[in-house]
Amino acid sequence: MTTAQTWVGDFTAREQGFAGANVPWLAAMRKRAIERFADEGWPSTKQESWRHTSLATLAQQTFLPAAKASAQAQAQAVRQGEPGHWLVFVDGLYAPELSDVGALPAGAEVRALSQALVDAPDHVQDGFGNERQGSSIAALNLALMSDGAFIRLARGVVLEQPIHLVFIAASEQAASFPRNIIQADAGAAADIVEHYIGQGSSTTLTNTVTRANLAPDARITHIKLQQETEQAFHLGILDVEQAKGSVFNSHSMSFGARLARHDIVTTFTGQRCETLLNGLYYVDGRRHVDHHTLIGHAQPHGVSREYYRGILADTARGVFGGRILVSPGADGTDAVQRSDSLLLSRLAKADARPELEIYADDVKCAHGATVGQISEESMFYLRTRGMNEADARNLLTYAFAAQALERIEIASVRERVADAIRMLLPGEAQVGEPA
C-alpha cells in the first residue's frame, strides 16, 4: 500500500467524525481534496519548487490520529502570563480548558473553527478556500482538517492585544491538520501570533494552513514561531489576499523540527498594497528548513519588502526560494528581496534562489543573496578586547539574527523570539539585551 493510500484509508475511516461533517459543501470538498492527494501524493524533488527538499523520510513514517493528550504544562509555559486573546489546540484539537479568549470589542470574533462550522458555516465558507488551491499538501490538510482558529474582524475593528494561537504537538506519532481562517473587513487591524511547540522527543506531523483575506485598508501582522521537537515534521502554508491599501506583515521564525517547510504567498488584488515578509531560522544537527515565498504584484503601486536570514550549524541545511511576480499593468511596483545565510560549520549548506519576474514598466525591483561565515576580522576585534572565542562567536551570531528581530514591532513577541535564539546558542549564551 502506498503512503497516499494509507492517508485515503485514514480519511475513509474517520470522515464522519471530522469537524463540519454535516456541512454539505465541506463534506463534498473534503472528498475532492483526498482524491487530489491520492492522485498526486507528496511533492517530490522532481518538482522545481521542491528540488532541494525531499519528503521521502516523511513518507516512510506512520502517524496516528490526534487524541488530545495532556499539555497543560506546555500551555502555561508558552503563555507566561502574557496578555492577549488565547486559543490553544492540542494535537490539532481545540482545548477550551487551556484557552482564554477574554473580552473582545463588538464586531470581533475569535473562536475555534469547529465551533464556527456549527454556528455560521456560511461565514466560514467565504474564506475557507478549496481543494484546487496550493499543493497536494494543502489538499491533504483540507481533507483531514481537525480544527483551527476562525478570526473575523468587522469594519474598523482594531484589537489592542494580540491574538495567540497555540498548537501543541503532544502525542507520540500524532498527525494534526490545523486550518486557520482570518477575515479582516475594511479598516480592521490585529496582530496574530501562531505558536507551534512540541513536548518530549516525540515524532509528530503538523500540516497547517492559514488563509487570510484583507479588505481595503485592513492591517494584519502575522507572526509564526515554530519550535517543535527535533524529530517533528512541520509543513506550513500561509495564503493571503490583499485588497486596495491593505498592509500585511509576516514574520516567520523557524527554530524546531527535523524537517520544516514554510510556503508563504500573498497576492495584491488592489492598488497600493504593502507587505513585509521577514524570516529567521536556526538549524543544527541534520535538520532541514525550507522557506518558499511568492509575492504577487497584480495591481499598480504595490510595495513589498522581503528579508530572510538563516543560521546553520553542524550538517544542517537551509533553503530559500523567493519569487516576486510583477504582472502586466502593475506599474509603480516597488519591491526588494534579500536572503542572507550564516554558516557556523564547513558542512552546513544553504541554498538561495531569489527571483524577479517582471511584466510591467516603471518599476523599482531589486534582489540579492549572500552565504558566508563569521568574519575573521570581527572575531579578531572582539578577541583583542578580552572576549573568549565562544562568547565572541555567540555575540556575532546573535547580532546577525538581531537584524530580523528588530523588524518585529510587538515587544513581547520580539523578546520571546530573542530568548529562543539565545537558548539555541552554545551554552544558552547570555548575549544581547532583552528586545
pLDDT at residue 2, rounded to an integer:
56
355 and 384 co-located in one domain: no
pLDDT at 54 over 60: yes
Asked if residue 38 is part of any domain, the answer here is no
163 and 300 co-located in one domain: yes
pLDDT at 433 over 60: no
pLDDT at 175 over 70: yes
pLDDT at residue 288, rounded to an integer:
97
pLDDT band at 1 (very low <50, low <70, confident <90, very high): very low
pLDDT at residue 4, rounded to an integer:
81
For residue 434, the one-letter residue type is P
Asked if residue 319 is part of any domain, the answer here is yes
Number of domains comprising the chain = 2
Average of pLDDT values for 163-185?
95
98 and 136 co-located in one domain: yes
Asked if residue 312 is part of any domain, the answer here is yes
Kindly report the average pLDDT of the chain as a whole number: 93
Asked if residue 275 is part of any domain, the answer here is yes
Residue 41 dihedral angles phi and psi, to the nearest 5°: 70, -170
306 and 362 co-located in one domain: yes
pLDDT at 428 over 60: no
272 and 385 co-located in one domain: no
**19/96 Cα distance (integer angstroms):** 15
pLDDT at 427 over 90: no
Rg (alpha carbons) of the chain, rounded to whole number: 21
pLDDT band at 78 (very low <50, low <70, confident <90, very high): confident
Residue 198 cell numbers, joined:
512540541
383 and 356 co-located in one domain: no
> pTM for the full model?
0.94
278 and 355 co-located in one domain: yes
Q: Which of 329, 348, 375 is at the close of a domain?
A: 375
Torsion over CA of 165, 262, 199 and 281, rounded to 10 degrees? Answer: -110
Lowest mean pLDDT among 29-43, 278-292, 378-392: 378-392
pLDDT at residue 300, rounded to an integer:
98
- Domain containing 305 equals 68-375
435 and 380 co-located in one domain: yes
E strand spans, 316-405: 317-326, 334-343, 349-358, 364-373
Average of pLDDT values for 188-214?
94
331 and 385 co-located in one domain: no
pLDDT band at 435 (very low <50, low <70, confident <90, very high): very low
Asked if residue 281 is part of any domain, the answer here is yes
pLDDT cut 90: percent of the chain above it: 83
217 and 107 co-located in one domain: yes
Average of pLDDT values for 292-316?
98
pLDDT at residue 233, rounded to an integer:
97
pLDDT cut 70: percent of the chain above it: 95
Residue-wise pLDDT tens digits, 142-160: 999 999 999 999 999 999 9
Residue-wise pLDDT tens digits, 247-258: 999 999 999 999
Average of pLDDT values for 187-216?
94
**359/160 Cα distance (integer angstroms):** 40
The answer to whether 254 touches 226, Cβ cutoff 8 Å, is yes
pLDDT band at 72 (very low <50, low <70, confident <90, very high): confident
386 and 348 co-located in one domain: no
Asked if residue 365 is part of any domain, the answer here is yes
407 and 279 co-located in one domain: no
pLDDT at residue 301, rounded to an integer:
98
pLDDT at 70 over 80: no
pLDDT band at 304 (very low <50, low <70, confident <90, very high): very high
